[in-house]
Amino acid sequence: MAGGNQTSIFEFLLWGLSERPEQQHILFLLFLWMYIVTVAGNLLIVLAIGTNAHLHTPMYFFLASLSCADILFTSTTVPKALVNIQTQSRSISYAGCMVQLYFFLTFGDMDIFLLTTMAYDRYVAICHPLHYRMIMNPRHCTLMVTACWTLTNLVAMTHTFLIFRLSFCSKKVIPDFFCDLGPLMKVSCSDTHINELVLLFLGGAVILIPFMLILVSYIHIVSAILRVPSVQGRHKAFSTCGSHIAVVALFFGMVIRAYLCPSSSSSNSVVEDTAAAVMYTVVTPLLNPFIYSLRNKDMKGALGRLLRGKVSFSGQ
């Protein structure tokens, strides 16, 4: 069936989270709990930052943007997976699959770019503290986030358009619980050589260039921190960066495993790929609120005031 002639009648079948019927009820409850906690936790971070004037700084502006992206990122895949488990259906329409792919790539890449922006923010704050207010002023921060959204949309549109031109055989099972580039190329009946090249070079650039920039930023940050004479000063600097390093390591580790490490079409490989996908699409957004709030006194204080109903929209 040609990509240009496919209609909403055409459907894919998703492999899902597990093929074992006895596990479906447990998986439904587990993923429903994780989704609720993810949305609630990230929403609390956004509200805590938005309602506390003391947190209206570049670092927390980027953190609030990351929390918004995480809510949207998780909402792209998990609700559909929950519906499929509950209805005992593995189908997704062709149009629904393309829409899910586009938004998944958009919000997933947004996470990557925001984590890079946050690393740059910490680099400027620690390595160039005297110029921090000038470099990371509100206008520059807004421009950086706008640039991130623009780049993610361009990348997502490129990949989605290239997938749209492929042909798919009916009743093909996508080896994942959502529509992603690699699994879709595996079930295509047409030549995917161009898609694979674009995924290798464009996808590799979107993942590896930000990762290298983060790595370089933290090499400079660690070097600067080690030169701080005060033990208390070093501890404070490391504590502000520790949570970001933990999130970066978890997220990029799983993304690199999923996109840049080859996998076969065997059953064991599908299970491993699905597990890796769950880690960066569900577990990382779930852990982010805990990692950033538990390691940050300002966030813990803001969340405490928010939950007690004490909010301040001004600096007084």
d(CA 171, CA 187): 10
Query: Phi/psi of residue 173, each to 5°?
Result: -95, 120
> Can you tell me the distance from the alpha carbon of 57 to that of 260, in angstroms, rounded to the nearest whole number?
35
Strand 173-174 and strand 91-93: the pairing is unpaired
d(CA 138, CA 233) in angstroms, rounded, equals 26
Q: What does the alpha-carbon distance between residue 270 and residue 177 come to, in Å, rounded to a whole number? A: 10
77 — pLDDT class (breaks 50, 70, 90): very high
Residue 2 has pLDDT above 50, yes or no: no
Question: Which residue is listed with tokens 């003391």?
Answer: 54
pLDDT tens digits along 193-212: 999 899 889 988 999 999 99
Look up residue 79 and give its two tokens. Answer: 């609700």
What pLDDT score does 312 carry?
A: 53
CA atoms within 13 A of residue 316's CA, in its CB half-sphere = 0
DSSP 248-283: HHHHHHHHHHHHTS---SSHHHHHHHHHHHHIIIII
pLDDT at 3 over 50: no
Chain Cα centroid distance, residue 63: 13
**pLDDT tens digit string along 38-71?**
999 999 999 988 888 888 899 899 999 999 999 9
In this prediction, residue 236 carries a pLDDT of: 67
* pLDDT tens digits along 217-276: 989 988 888 887 777 767 766 666 777 787 888 888 888 877 777 565 555 677 777 888
Closest to 291 in 3D by CA, of 77, 63, 112, 122: 63
Q: Is the dihedral of CA 41, 47, 53, 55 positive or negative?
A: positive
Amino acid at 95: A
CA gap 265, 183 in Å, rounded: 9
Beta strands per DSSP E along 3-99: 11-14, 91-93
Own/partner pairs for 142-146, CB < 8 Å, 24+ apart?
A: 144/117, 145/61, 145/62, 145/65, 145/114, 145/117
Mean pLDDT of the chain: 84
**Between 315 and 105, where is the model more confident?**
105
Q: How far apart, in Å, are the Cα atoms of 54 and each of 2, 18, 223, 300, 311?
A: 56, 46, 29, 13, 11
Q: At what angle do helices 231-259 and 267-278 cross, to 10 degrees?
A: 140
Report the alpha-carbon distance of residue 208 to residue 185 in Å, rounded.
22
